[in-house]
Amino acid sequence: MSAPCDATSERKGPRIGRWSTRCGISGRSSCWCRRPGGRGGRRAGLLRDRDLLPQFPPVGGCTAESPTGEVVVTGEVGAAYSSRAQEYIDHLGSIASVHPSDLELVARWADQLDGPLIDAGCGPGHWTGHLAARGVDVRGVDQVPEFVSHARRTHPGCRFEVGDLDALPRSPGEVAGILAWYSLIHHEPATVRPTLLRMARCLRPGGGLLLGFFHGAEVERFDHAVAGAYRWSVEALSEELRMADFEVIETYTRTGPGARPHGAIVARLMSAHDGRAE
């Protein structure tokens, strides 16, 4: 069986990676930038092959009910993930597969939120389960029914829903934060801003958004193991966020030998969603 996504079967041995940070306020880079509620300090960690993989991106397309009432994925990308769901679960179905720098970043961000959080594109539910165990009020949403079924079995105390990233199941202005960890990698570039605007509609003014993505010098399509995906530069994705009424607070990049570079952006909603065309 070939290794999915960002790893290849011939990679062996440890990989070294470090988050490099740029603060959207101070412009400083190469460190964790301090801000109210934040912490400083550099972080480096050991990367294994499984750490090089993205954490279950949600899928394009939509879901529907079959004549028997079963939820099915109708999009091409969604169907591809659905057909390989068990492979993903076997490789990346627990929080142990996550790089320690990612664990710290996501936990630190979530701990600062005051209210409910959506894990948008939750996959097998490992991030939802981890954050719920830390006392976060979190709900997982994913288009792939197989992922959601596994998540419900594995994390019975958590809430999971089959749903579309572009139609998150919350009332406008209800959510304090959205975790979208590799949730936009399969979106065509022209559809990213409308998706961010729909996320903004769910968030309270000042609500938080944390994006994980494949980083590159420019917006560029590449052959992902499941379906075509895009890498983004920090600058290009930050501009999309600003156009969707978000303020970029911090940006991160992480590289390791033999791995595609990774990125993350911490942002917050500047004002209530104004109903602009999406």
Q: Give residue-wise pLDDT tens across range 92-130.
A: 778 998 889 999 999 999 999 999 999 999 999 999 999
> What is the structure's pLDDT at 260?
78
> What is the structure's pLDDT at 161?
94
CA angle 213, 214, 219 (to 5 degrees): 105
> What is the structure's pLDDT at 165?
80
Q: Find how far residue 169's CA is from the centre of its chain.
A: 17
Report the chain's C-alpha Rg in angstroms. 17
Residue ranges for the chain with pLDDT beneath 50: 1-18, 22-74, 275, 277
Quote the pTM value: 0.74
> What is the structure's pLDDT at 21?
52
Q: CA–CA separation, 229 vs 248, rounded Å? A: 23
> What is the structure's pLDDT at 86?
85
> What is the structure's pLDDT at 64?
34
